[in-house]
Amino acid sequence: MLVAQRRDFLLARLRDEGRVVAKEVAAELGVTEDAVRRDLRELAAAGLCQRVYGGALPVSPALGDYAARGSVATDSKRRVAAAAVALVPSGSTVLLDGGTTALEVARALPADLAVTVVTHSVTVAAALVEHPTAEVVVLGGRLFKHSAVTSGAAAAESAAAVSADLFFLGVTGVHPEAGLTTGDADEAAMKRLLADRAAETYVLASVEKIGAASPFGVLALDRVAGVITDAPADSRTVRELVALGVPVVDARAGSD
């Protein structure tokens, strides 16, 4: 098998099974593990997979810049946002992460819902300027332009003073093996801090994030109260999450 054919095989395995185990593929194809690992390195360098110990996982399509992400899976994000808003009781304090799905959550908050929203996202804060009943608290800090969120020591210090009922967490990958991941180490650390400040954390998982992985871990799956997604219940990743005991909130109810 030519190198190009082998790499096509690896991409097909990623697409069909959601993972590549280098040792298994090497035995199946009759090549060395080193050859498979070289292929995976090249595919990862081209942005086609996310390397992990022993193999690779599908790369998240949610790693682009903020403007580009706004046009990805827009209907899915709206469904996830609607399901998230249904979990917010009146009078509660909600930590709302950055990202385009979190922005949809802000837009979906009912006009008569009395809620305090704490966020480090400048776009989420701006979306709530005209909300008639939402109290908005913005965590200050250095602006991380890729995700339009504040970060750094000042943002972390501000977040440490917060106690919230819910945290809606945005990630770029949700995978049974890799857990919850994102593309920046500092952003991942901020997300962990925000999760520590809330009684319950729910993951905003639009369909393109399900089964994907990114370089930096955010939280283990057993740290969250649920994963909100409109991915089909019979999809491989959703079935594996359920088997692991991860609560999955079905965002498909009421969708077109």
What is the CATH classification number for the domain harbouring 21?
Answer: 1.10.10.10
pLDDT band at 2 (very low <50, low <70, confident <90, very high): confident
Report how far residue 255's alpha carbon sits from residue 37's, in angstroms, rounded to the nearest whole number. Answer: 42
- β-partners of residue 248 are 227
Residue 212: CB atoms within 10 Å: 24
Q: Looking at residue 76, what is its pLDDT?
A: 93
Residue 168 lies in a domain: yes
* pLDDT tens digits along 43-83: 888 888 888 888 898 887 766 655 555 556 789 999 999 99
- Kindly give, in sequence order, each residue whose CB lies less than 8 Å from that of residue 241, ignoring residues fewer than 6 positions away: 174, 176, 221, 227, 248
* pLDDT tens digits along 48-57: 888 888 889 8
Q: Looking at residue 256, what is its pLDDT?
A: 43
For residues 89 and 53, is the Cβ–Cβ distance under 8 A? no
| CATH code, domain with 225 | 3.40.50.1360
Question: 120 and 76: one domain?
Answer: yes
What is the average per-residue pLDDT within 218-240?
94
* pLDDT tens digits along 128-139: 999 999 999 999
Question: 119 and 195: one domain?
Answer: yes
Report how far residue 251's alpha carbon sits from residue 248's, in angstroms, rounded to the nearest whole number. Answer: 9
Report how far residue 158's alpha carbon sits from residue 177's, in angstroms, rounded to the nearest whole number. Answer: 32
Question: 9 and 70: one domain?
Answer: no
Burial of 111 (0-12, 13-18, 19+ CB in 10 A): exposed
Q: Of 14, 35, 59, which residue is a domain's last?
A: 59
What percent of the chain is predicted at pLDDT more than 70?
94
Report how far residue 101's alpha carbon sits from residue 113's, in angstroms, rounded to the nearest whole number. Answer: 19
Question: 92 and 215: one domain?
Answer: yes
**Is it the case that residue 218 has pLDDT exceeding 60?**
yes
pLDDT band at 119 (very low <50, low <70, confident <90, very high): very high
Q: Looking at residue 48, what is its pLDDT?
A: 86
pLDDT band at 220 (very low <50, low <70, confident <90, very high): very high
Residue 226 lies in a domain: yes
Question: 144 and 246: one domain?
Answer: yes
Closest residue by Cα to residue 218 from 182, 175, 176: 182
Residue 218 lies in a domain: yes
* Helix, strand, coil abundance in the chain, percent, nearest 5: 40, 25, 35
Question: 71 and 129: one domain?
Answer: yes
Q: What is the mean pLDDT of the chain?
A: 90
Question: 141 and 191: one domain?
Answer: yes
What is the average per-residue pLDDT within 117-140?
96
Question: 166 and 83: one domain?
Answer: yes
Question: 46 and 120: one domain?
Answer: no
* Longest pairwise C-alpha distance within the chain: 65
Residue 255 lies in a domain: no
pLDDT band at 17 (very low <50, low <70, confident <90, very high): confident
Domain assignment of residue 234, given as a range: 66-250
Apex 178 CA angle, 55 and 228, nearest 5: 140
Residue 256 lies in a domain: no
Residue 134 lies in a domain: yes
Question: 192 and 227: one domain?
Answer: yes
Question: 180 and 202: one domain?
Answer: yes
Report how far residue 1's alpha carbon sits from residue 31's, in angstroms, rounded to the nearest whole number. Answer: 9
**Is it the case that residue 12 has pLDDT exceeding 60?**
yes
Question: 157 and 223: one domain?
Answer: yes
Task: Report the number of distinct structural domains present in the chain.
Answer: 2
Residue whose structure tokens are 């190009």? 4
